[in-house]
Structure formats: structure tokens, C-alpha cells
Structure 1
């Protein structure tokens, strides 16, 4: 049997630090594995873009790497939330194709699951792309989407006691998009005079810090998470400021935001974020999009999507596309995206394992 070692990677304070080489290589390894699963490199992130996530004190992460004869062959990730009552762990175990079948994936999975168990977590969650293939399909309890039952990744997760809970669709929108102004005008006319759009690029304006903290918290409870039972992720004004500071200091990406205010109450009731890479040839990521439940039915999701695409063309034009993810059962948001012009390109499966 081929021998391998597993070690923890020290997360650098800055991507330019002399000791950042292992972190950089581990991120590039993850990109290579993800590109196989998604069938595209559009979801790849530069190491400098990933670093702020690994330095987030509210979502602490541990990075492991496996090596064969000194060469990095796989990586494992353990992520959780801060706070004594945090009960969930988000895990990953990824191995380069040429090193599969020798036990590295199993060893990495056992390592990160042991971390979760030692920390008293009650469940482990795994998000992973599994490419389509012919044959029997495994459908989650939602009844929407499927993964091939005989794919090695499916078999691996099932054998480790995970159950498929949800399938998310990755979609691409080609840019530039014609007719944005007309689309926005039509959506705003339907929404009515009680709502007003606001835009920013980068830091959250002081005026909206409290509203944005509420929206970010509700993102963790209002978005469909099926049987994953994703825990509430509480945001405060201080956390919004800290996140903005960390991204401004470390991330080469720009946050392009559109939000909608409910004029009678003066608070934000919806938002959407585009994460823009520095290289114009790369795709833009659609991050969170949310309209509070109590304000749905006014076509605000369409208003926000179209408004922020127009905002993107004003502040960061020239990117080839936007990539977004939505739960397959979230038909309302899929309808919005499809009407704008998004088309499906890949899927991501979400799995759960109860640890206690």
C-alpha cells in the first residue's frame, strides 16, 4: 500500500507571507478537484480570494493536507461556527484522481469527522459536485434533482453514513445582458411605490449596517435547506463591520450590492450580492439573494437581480458571465433566474450525517 501522511496547514495572515506556500497549493488542489465535479473552472477561486474565509473568526476552519512522497495529494476541511451552542460542522475530503483508491479520502474524512465529534457537533454537512452519468439516480427527500447512485463520490458518502438531503443547481448567465433598463422598469412598476433600491460597492454604508445584519441572519433561516437543517447564523453590526474590514484588507474581489428598502418602515427587506474577481476574463459569482418572507409576492427578487446586474455593468463591466446556485426545490428563484437568462451548467449535492 502506498504510504501517505496527513498534516494540518497553518493559515497565513497574508497570502504574501513566506509560509503561505502550503495554503496556496491546497487551494489549487481543491480547485482542480472541483473543476472535475462541476465540469468547469468557473467556480475556481484564487488562494488570495479564499484566505479571508479561512481567517473568519465567526466560522473557524481547519485545513488538512495529505502527501505522498512529499507531493500534496488531497485535502480535508473542517468548518464550524463560533459559539458554545454551534451544533453543525461543514466537512470536505478531496483527493486528486491519480491518488484515489489508496485510502487517502477515507483517512481525511475520518480526520475531519473526528474533529467534529471531539467538538461535540451533532451533525456533519457536506456539499460536493457530482457530475452526471447514466444509470440509476438517487433523489433527495425534496423530490427535486438527483445524483448518479453509482458515481464513486455517491458510493463513498453513502458508505460513510451520509444521506442525500438536497441538490443545488449551478446556472450561468452570459454577459452583457440586453434590455436591463426595461426589465427593471417593468419589475419596479409591479413592486409599487413602497420600495426603493439602493446600491453600494464594497463596505456596507453605515446607514444600512443594522438592516444588513438582519438580512444576513435571515439568509441562514429563510433560504431552503431541506433536511440539512442549516443552523441560524447570527450577524450583528459589529460582525458586518469586521467582515467588511477583513475583505477590504485581504480579498482581491469586489462586493457589488443592491438592496431594497421598505419606505414605510425605513429598513432593508431584500438584498443581493455579486462577488467580482479582479481579472475581467473570469466569471462573477452571485452570492446571497434574499427577500424577507413577509415582503415576498412583490417581484422584489426580480427587481434585485436585474438592478444589480445593471449596477455591475456600471462599476465593473466586461466580465463574461455570472454564476449562481439555487436549491432545485426553490422554483420561485429558479423562475426569476431563468426569466433573466440563466441556464443550468452543473449541480451540487448536499449531504448530512448525524454524529450523535
Structure 2
């Protein structure tokens, strides 16, 4: 194999960025079942209107003029850089990943001190360790096959032995931006999620949720083609939990189950179950989700309560995400 050449992708050139995104996804998701990847439209929106202050690195590796791998990195000021490195399966174990990692590190110097990288394979973990990263956190990826039988789910989860012991909890559902009358509660709960979410030995970013950041995030998600499907649980007029699903207008085949949080003082009373039931019913009214085949979610192995709840809804384990961390160097 001839020498590997690493070149930067110009995010202003649509053809380059779309080819880069496809190459990165092809290598990263090789051999995985129902693996989500950002659509062309989402990618163009993301890099066409970059987040203020964010540094992005987009690289392609070629050999003999043929693309053989790609890498991407995004970092916000004061945070660890999120890095993805991808090599086509038939081109692995030839030093391409090592060359891409060195190039990413070189371009991140001065922008970040730490980097975090994700992989779904043992080989990926071994490679990351070989370039100086350490395992920081693992999560199981689960899939729920669609469509679901909502009537059967309601009947199963509303059995007397499964009824919430806090029957006065009310669940409010909507799609899109958070209603103005509950935005403060939503912001408080999402801040708690940032503080509570299991991250193992990874460096935890500072909590950043406030009303303005929530609204900016909603606008960016909408601009990238995401429909936000949300439910909020309230007790005596106070928010005690929330859950949200993301549906891509451009590629709705895989729906993402994002956060589900129940306030610490209200766990174990069926609030999470009520939220998930309500939000699945909410999802059934989203036209863009009618052709979806799966809902994807992630749960830490030691989060036994959430694993049990997800499995009770029909989610099944498909693979394991490992996140590794190390110095930019």
C-alpha cells in the first residue's frame, strides 16, 4: 500500500462534506445492525451554520487516490473534543487509523486538552488504547422494533402490580419547542440530567442548561431537521421528570430515544413508565415517524432500573458503546 495522504475537507463545499460524511459513516457503522448516521441534510445544516465558538476538524485519508478513511472532531471552548475515526473494513491494520489520529491531534492542539472517542468493537477499543486513550464509560445500545402495539403496552404497564404509587402525577406531551409556561421546569430538569447522567471515568462537562441555551438548542435541532417529541411529568404543579424522542425529517427510519429523567425524590413510583407510555402515544401522532423501523436508546450497564424498564417496553440489546478519553498531546 502506498503512503496515506490526509487532507482537510472544506465545509463550504457541499460535495466534499457529503462525501466525507458518507465515508465516515461507512467505516464507523460497518457490520452493525440498524446503525444511525447523520443524513446529508442534517450534515449540511450542522456545518453550514456552525455553533459559535466551536472548532471542527474534518479529514479524509486517501491511498493511490482512493478514499480509505475519515475522521471528524468537534470541540466547544473548555470542553473535551468529540472525535470519530473511521477506516474502511478492507483497509484496516495498515496504519490509516494511526495517521488519522495523529492528524486530528495536530489540528486540535490549542483548541482542546482532552479528546473523547467512541467505538462499538473490541478492535476499536484496542486501537484507541494503542494511541494513548483509556476506557472511560460504556453503554448498551438497545433497539425497539416498530410499530409497537400501544394498546398492549398500556394494558401490560397499567396492571395493578405496576401502577404508580404517585397517582396524582400528570403527564403533558407535545412536539417541538418547549411551551413557555413550563420552560423553567424543563430547564431545571435538563440541568439535573447533565449532573446525573452516568459518565463513568470520563471528564464531566460543566452543566450548561439555562433557558437561552435550551432555546438555542431547539432552534439548531429544528434547523437540522429534527422533530422533538416530548413529555413532562408534573406533581402538584412541579416538574418531576421528562423524556424526549428525536425524529429526523430527512431520515426517520431510526428514532432516537434521548433523555429520560425522574427527579431523585420521585423514583421508583412509576413516573418513568408513565412518561415513556405517554411519549410513545405522542409519537404515534407524528406523521414523519409513520415509516420508522426502530427506536434506539442507550443505557449504562449499571443502570439496572432503566435497563429493566426499557426491556419491559420491548427494547433488545444489539451492541455496546465504549467511550475512551485521553490527552490531545
TM-score over 0.5 (shorter chain): yes
TM-score by length of 1: 0.81
- Equivalent in 147, 152, 169 of residue 195 of structure 1: 169
Q: Deviations over 1:239-272 (max 9, x none)?
A: 22222222323x2332211121232xx3433222
8 A contact 2:134–2:326 mirrored in 1: yes
Post-superposition offset of 1:168:
1.3
For residue 218 of structure 1, the aligned residue among 192, 206, 209 is 192
Q: CA deviation at 1:105?
A: 1.1
Identify which of 52, 61, 68 aligns with 1:66.
61
What are the ranges of 5 or more consecutive residues in structure 2 without an aligned counterpart? none
Aligned pairs for 1:338-353 (under 5 A) are: 338-353=311-326
How far has the Cα of 1:51 moved from its partner? 4.2
- RMSD value over aligned CA atoms? 2.6
Cα distance in 2 for residues equivalent to 1:302 and 1:190: 8
Secondary structure, aligned partner of 1:353: strand
Q: Alignment partner for residue 95 of structure 2, among 95, 103, 109?
A: 103
- Contact kept? 2:18, 2:43, Cα under 8 Å: no
**Matched residues in 1 for 2:205 and 2:252: separation?**
36
Q: Does 1:239 align with 2:234?
A: no
- In the comparison of the two structures, how many residue pairs are matched? 322
Q: Any conservation in 2 of the 1:31–1:41 contact (CA below 8 Å)?
A: no
Pick from 291, 304, 308: which aligns with 2:275? Answer: 304
Per the TM alignment, residue 66 of structure 1 is displaced from its structure 2 partner at its CA by: 2.0
C-alpha spacing 1:120/1:24, structure 2 compared with 1 (3 Å)? closer
- Aligned equivalent of 1:286: 257
Asked whether 1:21 is paired with 2:12, we answer no
Q: 2:51 aligns with which of 48, 51, 56?
A: 56
1:90 equivalent to 2:82? Answer yes
Q: Which runs of 5+ in 1 are unaligned?
A: 13-18, 131-147
What's 2:6 paired with?
A: 6
Which digits, 9 at most, give the CA deviation of each residue in 1:197-239, with x for residues without a partner? 1111122222232222233333222111111132234022112
TM-score normalised according to structure 2 size: 0.87
Pairing of 1:34-53 with structure 2 (within 5 A): 34-36=28-30, 39-53=32-46
